Chains A and B, each alone.
Chain A
Amino acid sequence: MYVQVSNYSKVIRGKEILRSVNVGFERGAIYGIVGPNGSGKTMLLRAICGFIRPTSGSVSIGGRPVVFNEKLPEKIGVIIENPGFVGSETGMQNLKYLADINRAFDSAEVTRLLKSFDLYDARDQKVKSYSLGMRQKLAIVQALMEHQNLILLDEPTNGLDARSVGVFLDQMRRQRDAGRTIVIASHHDGELTQIADRLYAMADGRLSS
């Protein structure tokens, strides 16, 4: 398995947020995790990113362990919660700053993604003038722009209109066909059933297929 989550449990202030989660994600596939708010979906994505320490269990990516607050074994594209773009800067500037962290700005890929999400014309506008949907689309662009092999998306279609959802689903298929691993967490199973190769259900910290 490209990504392996093994017996991962997380307890916060006495409450078990994740309970012995065991799941593996292969390359070149889209996985959906469906569950109500508070079920642990976002926490699982945080665990894969190494943003939290496991109470027990482990995560590995490409055979290498993910260790809390240490450099990740692979590049990950992520949307978790509301994206915190710098509002006083333009959309393009925000993308450049993020890509420049690892010196990975690919102008052609960014242009392609912005155009596919109808954001290209707004690229030089300040993000504080963007609507919720535009910010969400910009967040999707930043999650894909560096050719990340693993893409973790939490409620990625929040605020998107029907056309944008369609574009998003097409992009996800394109990324999967390029061999990337995509994990999408959502409380809407409608969109996930359209593209997910495999669906999981999350409830009360437990993952089941």
Chain B
Amino acid sequence: MLHDIRYLLQSLRDKAGLHVLVALVYALVFTQLVHSDFIAYGAFDPHVFFGMFRVSDDPNIANLPFNVSSVMFMAFGLALPLGRFSRYLMAAEPMVYVRKRRGVAHFLLYLASAVAYCVMFTVVQLVATFALRGDTSLRSQLPGAVCAAGVLLLLMLIVGAGHLLGSAVMGYLAAALVYAAVLSFGKFDGWLIASGACSVPHWAPVLLLCVVGLAVLDTFLLCGNEMY
């Protein structure tokens, strides 16, 4: 486990400059969108976290383009690690795996690091939102922040499944298609945002089920993944 952690940390430290560059580009995009009042591309709503999906309140504007900020959140959220988490997931170092087999423990470390990354990515933007906009509150931002972080984790797991099935490209494509499909159906998004039993929004149990399902799938794929 110690070797795994050090291997993961090293892979994250490598090429730090490129990570910083991607982060800077996103910071620019983020700042522009947070200050945006241009309704056609989803003007900033002080009651909804930047990365949270929304339902278009203008019948002349389709749902997908109304969610530019959410799309940017997910796109840069996936791009910023530059595939390092997936590469760690796929790491097949013979020196290590001849000593201990690759299995659930390896996947759990990957999952823990992915969760930590999603939380950190979201928290930084929460803080930045408060710094840039004085017209919002933690109470209004927090539920959307939790949802956005969860969706980002789900998309990372989809990308991971793609890697495990032999095609990173297909993983990214699948993640993009899934999110685009979800955003394209305003009525479905409206249902997800609406509260269900015990005032819990429908997205919460749906997201939880999807994340758990993908995690189980990825674990299954990892344990069956040959090293050649």
Taking beta carbons and an 8 Å cutoff, which residues of A are in contact with B? 12, 43, 46, 49, 51-53, 68-72, 75-81, 83-84, 86-89, 97-98, 100-102, 139, 142-143
Whether B6 contacts A51 by the Cβ 8 Å rule is: no
Whether A78 contacts B94 by the Cβ 8 Å rule is: yes
A124 to B131, CA, bound (A): 45
With most chain A CB atoms within 10 A of its CB, the pick from B98, B100, B227 is: B98
Whether B96 contacts A101 by the Cβ 8 Å rule is: yes
- Tell me, rounded to whole Å, the shortest Cβ–Cβ distance linking B66 to chain A: 44
Write out the residue numbers on chain A whose beta carbons fall within 8 Å of the beta carbon of B91.
84
Write out the residue numbers on chain B whose beta carbons fall within 8 Å of the beta carbon of A86.
3, 6-7, 10
Interface of A (DSSP majority class): loop
B94's partner among A70, A81, A87, A101 (CB-CB below 8 A) is A81
Whether B13 contacts A88 by the Cβ 8 Å rule is: yes
Closest 6 CB pairs of A and B: A51-B227, A80-B94, A97-B3, A84-B93, A101-B99, A52-B226
- Tell me, rounded to whole Å, the shortest Cβ–Cβ distance linking A168 to chain B: 17
Supply 21 A–B pairs (Cβ within 8 Å), ascending by A: A46-B228, A51-B92, A51-B94, A51-B97, A51-B226, A69-B103, A69-B223, A69-B224, A75-B99, A77-B98, A78-B95, A79-B94, A80-B94, A86-B3, A86-B6, A86-B7, A98-B3, A101-B3, A102-B99, A142-B95, A143-B95
Whether A78 contacts B228 by the Cβ 8 Å rule is: no
Taking beta carbons and an 8 Å cutoff, which residues of B are in contact with A? 2-3, 6-7, 10, 13, 91-103, 223-224, 226-228
Write out the residue numbers on chain B whose beta carbons fall within 8 Å of the beta carbon of A75.
99
Write out the residue numbers on chain B whose beta carbons fall within 8 Å of the beta carbon of A79.
94-95
Interface of B (DSSP majority class): loop
A52's partner among B6, B13, B228 (CB-CB below 8 A) is B228
- Tell me, rounded to whole Å, the shortest Cβ–Cβ distance linking B88 to chain A: 11
Whether A78 contacts B227 by the Cβ 8 Å rule is: no
- Tell me, rounded to whole Å, the shortest Cβ–Cβ distance linking B70 to chain A: 36
What 16 new A-B contacts, CB under 8 Å, besides A46-B94, A69-B224?
A43-B228, A49-B98, A51-B228, A52-B227, A53-B226, A69-B103, A78-B95, A81-B94, A84-B91, A84-B95, A86-B6, A88-B6, A98-B3, A98-B95, A100-B2, A101-B100
A95 to B93, CA, bound (A): 14
A180 to B103, CA, bound (A): 29
A86 to B98, CA, bound (A): 17
With most chain B CB atoms within 10 A of its CB, the pick from A68, A70, A76, A80 is: A80
A167 to B100, CA, bound (A): 29
Which residue in chain B gives the minimum CB-CB distance to A139?
Answer: B95
Whether A83 contacts B95 by the Cβ 8 Å rule is: yes
